[in-house]
Structure 1
Amino acid sequence: MPPPLPTLATPTLLLILLIASPAVSCSSLPPEDGIRIVSAEKRIDLTAPIVKVFLTLKVENAPAANDDASRVLLAFTPTEAQHLSIVKATRAEGKRKKKSYVPLPVEASDLDTTATNGARLYSVLLSSPLKPGEATTLEVLYVLTHSLEPFPAEISQSEPQLVYYRDSAVLLSPYHVLEQVTYIKMPSNRIESFTRFDPTSRAGTEVKYGTYHNQMPSSYLPILVHYENNRPFAVVEELVRKVEISHWGNIQITEQYKLKHGGARHKGVFSRLEYQSRPSISGASSFKNLLARLPPRVHSVYYRDEIGNISSSHLRTDSHKSELEIEPRYPLFGGWHCTFIIGYGLPLQDFVFESVDGRRYINLTFGCPLLDTVVDDLTIKVVLPEGSKNPQPVVPFVTEKHLETSYSYLDVVGRPTVVLKKKNVVGEHNVPFQVYYEFNPIFMLAEPLMLISAALLFFIACIAYLHMNLSIGKSS
């Protein structure tokens, strides 16, 4: 069934604007106007709720170019830019078995004002500039969240989940693309419909667009794919991770989750009997368990919600990793929510180290431990020991950062707390980050001395009370 007219209005309007607008002239491009894409392969992975796009670009600086090329621009539509979670790029060096991939920095470009039709540009900074006539191969990965649109928007318990995905059959690029092909991978053979632009072919769960030749800059051919996707659409609306460091040998981590099913909304009445009797059919798009990958050597693990402890969890640990399989109190259907807390302890010596300049630092993993989830709003609070000074977080991507003060038992001046915030977090953000700080070991004696002083004062008060004569006697 085709979508209603308002749903198609945006891509249709974009197509009209792109066709009506003239090709980008060389004078309107940045200094790397000599760049052209010799071949482009675009692979779109739609097997999960999170869309992953892999690009293989053979980029050449034209022999007639006047300058070396120090960067390559990537273009995204405004809608893609809104749902863009992360962009990673590598450069292939060497040949065949000796080939290696060198990571390249990617940053938002300041050339958006010169881009055609509001496209958002990102710059891939080359480790060594391309001289005129030279070519190189780039491998690009970018991740899109909330890009799958359920259609129909509401389904009953026994219906499968169908979704729309919108993209372009050709690569949106500010450069001339000589040759390009696009592959779209779906999770099952049930593909309701897909847009056709010759040449287009389908083989099982994969649709191929191309090969297309001599695409002008900013070319765009909108496509729409309608297919079945019953993978768990697990969305963490808010995650607050609190990391408390104690130099007495322990790190305590508490994670508060607000989870929802982000797929097609459930309609009708939920039948537990039907769900348990036909698990493969009834509630095929729902999910009742999640897997959290925790650091190795965890201890004191707990999993609870507002009611209390939830016993439906399984912990598997070894020397390399720990996996916690959790089950909410009820299966989650589209639009349903639940909240819960996961807590665990870690040995201090595995995650807190001393740097060469004498500072201490904690090395942890950013992101969410739940696999195959999107985190709309992530907050990480690293609570340092009392007496710590000059905290400095080191995160390999842009985050919101600020400092605050936390108080716990026996604290006098409070504990410095580093707060990191980021939106639209996916599994590719699960990389190490550090927080450096200065700490004088003399502060470790503060709390024991307070306890000893309180005990001494208590005993002195008891002795004074026993030696006091509070009886009422006769006056002499």
Structure 2
Amino acid sequence: MEAHLRVRAALLLSVLALLSLLARSSSQEIQIVNAERRIDLTSHIVKVFLTLKVENIGASPASEILLAFPPTLIDRLALVKAAATVGKRKKKSYLPLDVNPTELPDAPNGTKYFSISLLNPLSAGESATLEVLYILTHSLEPFPAEISQSESQLVYYRDSAIILSPYHIKQQTTFFKTPSTKLESFTKVEPTNRAGTDLKYGPYENHPPYSFSPIIVHFENNNPFAVVEELVREVEISHWGSLQITEHYILKHAGARHKGVFSRVEYQSKPSFSGVPSFKSLLARLPPRVHSVYYRDEIGNISSSHLRTDPRKSELEIEPRYPLFGGWKASFVIGYGLPLQDFLFESPDGRRYLNFSFGCPLVETVVDKLTIKVVLPEGSKDPSAVVPCSVEQHLETKYSYLDIVGRTVVVLEKINVVPEHNSPFQVYYNFNPIFMLAEPLMLVSVFFLLFIASVAYLHVDPSIRK
């Protein structure tokens, strides 16, 4: 028995060694000829645009390219997208590529990987250009952590002047874009150049795999740090012709915390000087043909909102009851109705499906936890959801007025949601139209029973006779 276990252990170690060797050989077969990274720091959502020209210097075709991230960034990584560049200049086009998290057995220092699957394997000696976008949340650290009403907001951003990669990089350059020219300090890794709101690191040449050079950029950023700690969107389908949306928000200003006393007189009399990092309004982009819009909080209806509609979109500008400074929160509800025919369709196999937008309607907002509840009509069966990103799914049951068996609710949950997640998703289900008669028949039955009871009561003589 012990000999058998030793054989299995030796076999397992051999497999792991082979996988490690294959990973190393795969990395050695690819080199990055040129890498250009552009990091947008103008918002509290950090966007990184990465252009890679990769070349296969090995003997066998390569079907994937690996992206490496330090473990400290994984929890802040909201989205990774990649595309292959085809053509040149005006005829250039982009073909989306599949990107999936992967693991390597010999990852140094807890490095995490994403694999980009190429449309066609890269043969020996061939090169390709890839465009990568990844988005980071909660990556700007306010310093100082507390500011008064009259102070500007300064933040840290930490990264590396050298791109972390499992491949050898022949030449690379990194550009930072800041929201203002007020740059307190930055780490210098020569050559480093600054011009206005732009900061350039490089070009650097011939860096081996897994090179890393930590840097810190300390700059002014007074843009709203709007973070929705929790958003619950309920989409209720009624086959009688309407779609009712109810959205519950817990909103927070995630910037530097406010210290001292808030002066509304100073805030209103000196808007360009007092409370610059705060925000008092947000913009929500809603579908066209929206109606019956309401906006309220725990106290009641909030009248400080403006709705603009046109045939293509609707925009709702909302103002909380008070301006939000760093660390302050606000809870509110937005509700509206939509015509059912714009969002409910029938598939070729006879199933019905809802086509609606995933994500958060608020512009430039991070959602820490998003829950979407699609309430199907009573009697719906076999629901299934098709979502363009990875989510947690489960089913619930909701009871409403005149329901008999309850309504099926498809629940979709996702953390770390950014505006780039706002894309259509579908919920499919089977529905027998006979169930549409259940509520009218119930109402008719109730009124009929009341009528019979009232007639019987009128014909009963309650008096006591001898």
- Whether TM-score is above 0.5 comes out as yes
- Alignment correspondent of 1:78: 71
- Alignment correspondent of 2:41: 46
The equivalences for 1:453-472 within 5 A come to 453-472=445-464
Note if contact 1:32-1:71 (Cα within 8 Å) is conserved in structure 2: no
- Note the C-alpha offset of 1:382: 0.3
Q: 1:465 to 1:30 in 2, by over 3 A?
A: farther
1:288 aligned partner, one-letter code: K
CA deviation vs aligned residue, 1:79-103 (integer Å, no higher than 9, x gap) = 1112100001010112232221001
The equivalences for 1:44-443 within 5 A come to 44-62=39-57, 65-111=58-104, 113-443=105-435
- Alignment correspondent of 1:448: 440
**Sequence identity percentage:** 70
Q: 1:436 to 1:27 in 2, by over 3 A?
A: closer
Alpha-carbon distance between aligned partners in 1 of 2:310 and 2:23, rounded to the nearest angstrom = 57
- Alignment correspondent of 1:31: 26
Alpha-carbon distance between aligned partners in 2 of 1:72 and 1:372, rounded to the nearest angstrom = 31
- Note the C-alpha offset of 1:32: 5.3
Note if contact 1:32-1:67 (Cα within 8 Å) is conserved in structure 2: no
- Alignment correspondent of 1:17: none
- Note the C-alpha offset of 1:115: 1.5
Q: Which 4+ stretches in 1 moved above 3 angstroms?
A: 25-28, 30-33
Alpha-carbon distance between aligned partners in 1 of 2:24 and 2:386, rounded to the nearest angstrom = 35
State the secondary structure of the residue aligned to 2:28.
coil
Aligned pair count reads 447
- Alignment correspondent of 2:5: none
Structure 1: 5+ residue stretches without partners: 1-24
2:207 aligned partner, one-letter code: Q
- Note the C-alpha offset of 1:332: 0.4
Q: 1:470 to 1:152 in 2, by over 3 A?
A: same
CA deviation vs aligned residue, 1:196-229 (integer Å, no higher than 9, x gap) = 1111101110000001111100011111000000
Alpha-carbon distance between aligned partners in 1 of 2:108 and 2:30, rounded to the nearest angstrom = 17
- Note the C-alpha offset of 1:463: 1.2
- Note the C-alpha offset of 1:469: 2.0
Note if contact 1:157-1:270 (Cα within 8 Å) is conserved in structure 2: yes
- Note the C-alpha offset of 1:26: 7.3
- Note the C-alpha offset of 1:232: 0.2
Note if contact 1:26-1:33 (Cα within 8 Å) is conserved in structure 2: no
Alpha-carbon distance between aligned partners in 1 of 2:103 and 2:215, rounded to the nearest angstrom = 29
- Note the C-alpha offset of 1:28: 5.0
TM-score normalised to structure 1 length: 0.93
- Alignment correspondent of 1:8: none
TM-score normalised to structure 2 length: 0.95
State the secondary structure of the residue aligned to 1:59.
strand
- Alignment correspondent of 2:10: none
Structure 2: 5+ residue stretches without partners: 1-19
State the secondary structure of the residue aligned to 2:120.
strand
Note if contact 2:103-2:112 (Cα within 8 Å) is conserved in structure 1: no
CA deviation vs aligned residue, 1:51-80 (integer Å, no higher than 9, x gap) = 000000011111xx1321111000001111
1:70 aligned partner, one-letter code: S
Alpha-carbon distance between aligned partners in 1 of 2:410 and 2:136, rounded to the nearest angstrom = 28
Q: 1:300 to 1:155 in 2, by over 3 A?
A: same
